[in-house]
Amino acid sequence: MKKKLLAFVLCLAMVFSLAACTTGTTEPSGTPSASPEGTEATGGVSGTFTGSSAGMQGTITVEMTVENGVITNVELTECHESAGVCDVALERIPQQIVEHQTTTLDTVTGATFASRGIMMAAEKAAEAAGLDMDALDANAYSAQPGEAETWDADVLVVGGGGAGFSAAISAAQDGAKVILIEKSSFLGGNTMMAGGAYNAVDPEAQANMILTEAQKNTLDGYLALDPSDPALKLDVFPEWAEVLKQLQQDITDFYAANEGKTPGVDMPGFDSVSLHMWHIYTGGLREMNDGTWIASDIDLARTLAESALDTFSWLSSIGVDATVGADAGASMFTVLGAMWPRTHPVTSSTALVEALEAAAEAEGVEIYTETAATALLTDDTGRVVGAQAEQADGTEITINTTKGVVLACGGYCANPAMVKEYDKYWGDDLSDHTLTTNVGTNEGDGIVMATAIGADVTGLEVAQMMPSSSPLKGTMTDGIWGDASEQLWIDGNGNRFVDEYAERDVLAKASLALDNGIFYIVYAGPADENGVCKGATLETPGMGGTVADMVEGGHIWYGETLAELAEASATSAGGAAPAFTEEALRNVIETYNSYVENQEDPDFHKEVLSGAIDLDYIESTEGVGICISPRKASLHHTMGGLVIDTNACVLDTEGNAIPGLWAAGEVTGGVHAGNRLGGNAEADIFTFGQIAGHSAAAAE
């Protein structure tokens, strides 16, 4: 029964190509081409034929071998689908076409568009071969349920993403027998989409960094804050006043310890638990459309800020490429919407999930994919004692537990109708069909199952939108950009329109107000040690391949001079996209460069400024250029979900812990309030996943 991720060498997607195969709107289509290598034989045609169709990430081409009218082999000769996410579909669908002599099969859970793309490409090849299409249709195959099964464990973990793996590994390390089930055909969930950004307060790393003048100005601003300022809403959420008081004391102590040092020269970086908590509070403090306000639960926020670094070290101990302390200083950055350079890079999402799977297997965790939990089981006292589940072929599974269940099955951004139903924030910016960055299986299953037995929820009225998504797919692929402090965003007229260092909902709202909600990120490469961007090459990796790959796919524009870049924008999308003039591009870049030099942004008051673009170097150096990525906001993260306490226990509507039920990750609410900071998701899922696992294993 155990299913592992299958490697498929023909699909060499870049590590950043993390689009869910079930998101998007393009239906498979294509034109057949035939390349017969054999001769017609008695009983039917023989030869090799090709057909192509559209997948999620580009064209899928299959080569079909036919002998005497019988399909004997189907091989993918062109594939751009995401590694890890679509592996099962890329392996299974060709095999089943041969086995069942049909191009009509079940799609693979979590890889719908890849599955359809392969089947449609095979159909085109079959048409080119002149096969009897009615006979192929008559052979349509759908898997049939097996006999119902019963499994036993101490702890059941529902969800195979970062939170689920953390819970499973932690519970197993504590001696529990653990079963982990995953609805999709692949492991990783939204962790496969996350991009590897992890926020943690890391004083040793900060000591190896230099505090910029802009950061110093920000800290001075925090010192000047008055708790009675109505804008801070401390009258509504008075518990947070103590955090501001502690932050101001931390900053004062930091200045005293570094008296005589100069920001931007020799003053070390600064961070503290209070600063991270204050960012969680202000970053998530939001007013809903009905006039109510929402803020993070202070206890959950403190648990996250205080525990994130230890959790990151724990990830390193189980085989994840995670660096903390002095060695992390050179690599820490500010992911989009993080508000401070405390973001630790994590190994590629594919490698991260592989490391988690290996660690879980080493601890004896039993892992089942394509197995969706459908209901929680309770005894006469109301204690959760297991779950009902259903496998992709319809086989019913009963899972009995001696300790209980951990829900870690994600949010509901792939269910835009559910987001819209509860929304009190975005209004007309949302619809029942808004695209998402998420895997297609994130539909709110865990919330539905838990509320059915009395669990409470919080924060469902607001979901986060990722501003820098693909305009066509909603995914975080097909683009290129850098650290939030280096990013330069322009509208269709070539003008900056927002503080690029702001929170994600601020960025999304500003961008959605533009024509068609589309904006453009100007990219010239990561800043060097002097904070200067010196250009990108065609080999520079981005979100979904190299610059060359994305230029060829029509996703970004590239030029070795501003004149070439302007020309590329003018000829893009058949002229449907705006054409930026060389003059407009030069003006906005040079103006931004002056703000970086002066460490002051009079237009939008960007707090942390870096990444001046060295146009002289770029335009005088062969093979070095500059890019523009068109972007549009899409649904990214649901902040609301099940109410939990600091032990990850799920609470009922009376505020009592439901015995035998814990939850972690995006299925929960209360941590992020109205807006999640970029980089806090992975800190959240791993920290509370670990807590949930320990809590479940300790249950009597």
Element (H, E) at 540: none
Cα–Cα distance measured from residue 469 to residue 479, given in angstroms and rounded to the nearest whole number: 8
Residue of 677, 636, 674 lying closest to 290 (CA atoms): 674
Catalytic residue among 504, 586, 631, 676: 504
Residue of 31, 22, 13 lying closest to 121 (CA atoms): 31
Examine the residue annotation and report whether 504 is marked as an active-site residue of this protein.
Answer: yes
Element (H, E) at 76: strand 70-78
- Cα separation values, 373 from 180, 182, 183, 217, 405, Å: 11, 8, 7, 50, 11
Per DSSP, which regions of 596-689 are E strands? 612-613, 626-638, 641-642, 649-651, 657-663
Cα–Cα distance measured from residue 608 to residue 596, given in angstroms and rounded to the nearest whole number: 9
Q: 404 near 176, Cβ under 8 Å? A: no
Residue 129: helix, strand or coil by DSSP? helix
59-67 and 286-287 beta bridge pairing: unpaired
Cα–Cα distance measured from residue 554 to residue 445, given in angstroms and rounded to the nearest whole number: 36
Cα–Cα distance measured from residue 362 to residue 366, given in angstroms and rounded to the nearest whole number: 10
- Cα separation values, 130 from 49, 72, 101, Å: 10, 15, 14
Residue 666: φ, ψ to 5°? -70, -10
What angle is formed at CA 174 by the lines to CA 169 and CA 176, rounded to 5 degrees? 80
How many CB atoms are closer than 10 A to CB 367?
24
Q: Which residues belong to the active site? A: 504
